[in-house]
Structure 1
Amino acid sequence: MGTRLSGRTALVTGATSNIGRAIAEAFAAEGARVAVSGRSAERGKAVVEGIRAAGGTAEFVPADLDGSERASRALAESAARTLGGHVDILVNNAGIFPADTTTTTTPETFDRIMAVNVKAPFFLTAALAPAMAQAGGGAIVNLGSWVARLGLPVGVAYSASKGAVETLTRAWAAEFGPAGVRVNAISPGVVQEPLPDGGHPAAGMMRGTPAGAPGHPAAIARAAVYLASDEAAFVHGTVVDVDGGRVGVAVVAA
């Protein structure tokens, strides 16, 4: 067990699988008390049990973030109660990724993407950032995506939603930073735990990059720990690319 987040409380949304789970586990391993949030009680219980078995502290806080202020505020209040009255760190990770094109995206799908990926973290931040400031400070880590800055012909509305998240990161840093709340983002590349056979359905997207293959969720978790810790005390409004070089380096197809 580490101590980089010792004595702090953290709410991680979408924490029952993949990147969110890795972040929750990493935070707990560094001493934070973690509210593991998600829709599935079964998966949430499994994450909490794993954290506790490793010596960490965690509780499951159910939430279905539909983009409404009501749902976000309810999660903020529930997480604060569960964590002893206050949330020091917020990780806005929950999101959905329909791979539709522009012409196949229905109004209902578009609204759902923006509700979950943009409105939910917007209202969750609105509910928690002022309390962080009043308590003397805090940290917010948003999850963006490499597709916010490198165009793809699919998942178009998702790309737009992640572009909005990166813009909100800078705006929130300006709004809440002077009050002691640091706001930053991580832009993951193709990241997912490998399939049982060791393969990855999106491996081709990383061909020709410096990394050459998809990343593991733990890579994103380590960046989140850094941004949430005192080591990043002078870091505000930054989007950290953890993408194997997908955006910043010329990709040469093999």
Structure 2
Amino acid sequence: MSGRLQDKRALVTGATSNIGRAIAERFAAEGAHVVVSGRSAERGTEVVDAIRARGGRADFLRADLNGSAEASRALAEEAASVLGGGIDVLVNNAGIYPGDSTADTDEKSFDHVYAVNVKAPFFLTAAIAPAMAEAGGGAIVNLGSWIARLGIPIGALYSSSKGAMETLTRAWAAEFGPRGVRVNAISPGVVHTPVPGEAHPGEAMMNGTPAGGVGSPEAIAHAAVYLAGDEAAFVHGIVLDVDGGRTTAAVIAA
């Protein structure tokens, strides 16, 4: 452990797999006490056990962040209690990704995506950011997506919800920054943990990028540590692209 987040109290939503799990594990490795939040108690316990086995501090809280203000407030209260009375870092990572076309998206799906991807973090931030400010400050890290700014012909609903989160990042930075709460976001590219013998459907989307392939969840976790820590004390309202260059550069093959 290098201690970049030593004694910080952190809540990471959607932390039982993929990017969320990597962030929770990296935060704990950097000295934070982490609340791992998610819907699956089995997977949550697995993450917590892995963190504790490496000497870190972590607890699991089951939460179904369905978009209701009540669910978000309940998680905020439980997490603050488990962490000893407050939260220093919030990572709004939980989200769902339907890849349907616009014409194939029904109203129920639309409402569900916005409930999970936008309403839930909105009300969670509403419950936590003022308390952070009263306690002297804190950091909030939102998860956006590269397809919020580079249009692709699938997943319009998801990309619009992530665009909303990136806009909220800037608005919250203006609202809470003067009170000591830094709000920033990460925009990941195609990220997954490779499975031997299996091709990921998103791999083709990273062709022609400087990175030349998909990224790892750990790459996003390192960025989250930076934005959550004191090294980013002068960083407010940014969307940090961790996407292998997908949205900024194209490699022209010979």
**TM-score normalized by the length of structure 2:** 0.98
Query: Counterparts of 1:83-162 in structure 2 under 5 Å?
Result: 83-162=83-162
User: Secondary structure of the equivalent of 2:95?
Assistant: coil
Post-superposition offset of 1:252 = 4.3
Confirm or deny: 8 A CA contact 1:67 1:115 kept in the other structure: yes
- Unaligned 5+ segments in structure 1 are none
Counterpart residue number, 1:73: 73
- Unaligned 5+ segments in structure 2 are none
Larger CA deviation: 77-86 vs 192-201: 192-201
| Structure 1 CA distance for aligned equivalents of residues 252 and 119 of structure 2 | 37
| Structure 2 CA distance for aligned equivalents of residues 2 and 11 of structure 1 | 20
Size of the aligned set, in residue pairs, is 254
User: Secondary structure of the equivalent of 1:185?
Assistant: strand
Counterpart residue number, 1:15: 15
Matched to 1:122, the amino acid is F
Aligned Cα root-mean-square deviation (Å) = 1.1
CA offsets 1:177-222 (integer angstroms, 9 cap, x no match): 0000000000000001112326423111101100000000000000
Counterpart residue number, 1:236: 236
Matched to 1:73, the amino acid is R
Counterpart residue number, 1:205: 205
Query: Counterparts of 1:174-189 in structure 2 under 5 Å?
Result: 174-189=174-189
| Structure 2 CA distance for aligned equivalents of residues 64 and 37 of structure 1 | 9
Confirm or deny: 8 A CA contact 1:207 1:253 kept in the other structure: no
Post-superposition offset of 1:250 = 2.3
| Structure 2 CA distance for aligned equivalents of residues 25 and 90 of structure 1 | 14
Confirm or deny: 8 A CA contact 1:190 1:202 kept in the other structure: yes
Post-superposition offset of 1:253 = 7.0
Confirm or deny: 8 A CA contact 2:210 2:250 kept in the other structure: no
Closer/same/farther in 2, CA of residues 191 and 251 from structure 1, 3 Å limit: same
| Structure 1 CA distance for aligned equivalents of residues 191 and 52 of structure 2 | 25
Same amino acid, percent of matched pairs: 72
**TM-score normalized by the length of structure 1:** 0.98
Counterpart residue number, 1:220: 220
| Structure 2 CA distance for aligned equivalents of residues 172 and 192 of structure 1 | 29
